[in-house]
Amino acid sequence: NAGVTQTPKFRILKIGQSMTLQCAQDMNHNYMYWYRQDPGMGLKLIYYSVGAGITDKGEVPNGYNVSRSTTEDFPLRLELAAPSQTSVYFCASSRDRGRDTEAFFGQGTRLTVV
Amino acid sequence: GNSVTQMEGPVTLSEEAFLTINCTYTATGYPSLFWYVQYPGEGLQLLLKATKADDKGSNKGFEATYRKETTSFHLEKGSVQVSDSAVYFCALSDIGTASKLTFGTGTRLQVTL
């Protein structure tokens, strides 16, 4: 079982460059999420989606965009990279909206903006 | 709003020592509580959970009890192993939040021989 797959695993960007972090899940989950993890901090929610065609902002959405054209894929777009976006990014999915539902995480993308 | 507070790490223990990682929470509703673990180089994975007061979640020798009166969900293990070395995150998910998780800052555990 692949679960949640993120690419790339590592990336170095220059200030002002753009990139897309890819996320795919093969569990047919409707709910998908993007979190960022800064050193010494917990994970913060960037964006989430409750199904294809539906996305919404999380706690820290500025500087990012997302789309959800299929159930499987939930890419995260950085348009103008800034040093403040240096972080580890995790994509996650869950089966439903229940408050006791387990979230499944990808391995993460470590992004450095220089 | 919702928040989770964990004890700061790193926590360094010898193998077979007793482990406690403290976690307290603030929530506007009646949340479910989780412990996620992140092994080196990997994503987070669910360790255990509890969905109502006095529930005890358990897995792989780890336990945590949902204490509503003290708003706590402390993680314990009676005898840690080197393979338990990881970062442990306490988290909550509240009603009406589309399963969005609020995380603590994480506690790094290092177990030595």
Q: In this predicted model, what pLDDT tens digit does every residue of A54-108 receive, in sequence order?
A: 999 999 999 999 999 999 999 999 989 999 999 999 999 998 777 778 899 999 9
Return the pLDDT at A20: 97
Interface test with B, best of A21, A100, A104, A105 (most B CBs within 10 A): A100
From residue B76, give the alpha-carbon distance in Å to each of A66, A73, B32, B42, B99: 38, 37, 18, 22, 25
Task: Tell me which residue in A42, A44, A98 faces B99 most closely, judged by beta carbons.
Answer: A98
Query: What type of residue is B36?
Result: Y
State the Cα–Cα distance between residues B77 and A85, nearest whole angstrom. 36
Task: Tell me which residue in A44, A97, A107 faces B43 most closely, judged by beta carbons.
Answer: A107
pLDDT value at B99 more than 80: no
State the Cα–Cα distance between residues A45 and A105, nearest whole angstrom. 13
Task: Give me the phi and psi of B66, to 5 degrees please.
Answer: -75, 110
Q: Is B83 in a helix, a strand, or coil?
A: helix
Query: Long-range contact list for A99-102, CB < 8 A, 24+ apart?
Result: A99/B31, A99/B32, A99/B51, A99/B93, A99/B94, A99/B95, A99/B97, A99/B99, A100/B32, A100/B49, A100/B51, A100/B93, A101/A31, A101/B93, A101/B99, A102/B46, A102/B49
Return the pLDDT at B100: 83
Question: What residues have CB less than 8 Å from B27, skipping those under 6 apart?
Answer: B2, B71, B92, B94
Task: Give B113 to chain A, closest Cα distance, Å.
Answer: 26
Strand-strand pairing, B23-26 and A43-51: unpaired
Of residues B71 and B94, more confidently modeled: B71
Of residues B100 and B19, more confidently modeled: B19
% residues pLDDT > 90 (chain A):
86
Is A99 in contact with B42 (Cβ distance < 8 A)? no
Residue of B nearest to A33 (CA): B100
Task: Give B103 to chain A, closest Cα distance, Å.
Answer: 5
Chain A contact set for B24 (CB, 8 A): none
Q: Is A83 in a helix, a strand, or coil?
A: helix
Q: Is B111 in a helix, a strand, or coil?
A: strand
Is the distance from CB of A81 to CB of A113 less than 8 angstroms? yes
Return the pLDDT at B97: 64
State the Cα–Cα distance between residues A3 and A106, nearest whole angstrom. 8
What are the respective helix, strand and coil percentages of chain B, to the nearest 5? Answer: 5, 50, 45
State the Cα–Cα distance between residues B15 and A42, nearest whole angstrom. 27
Which residues are bridge partners to A30 per DSSP? none
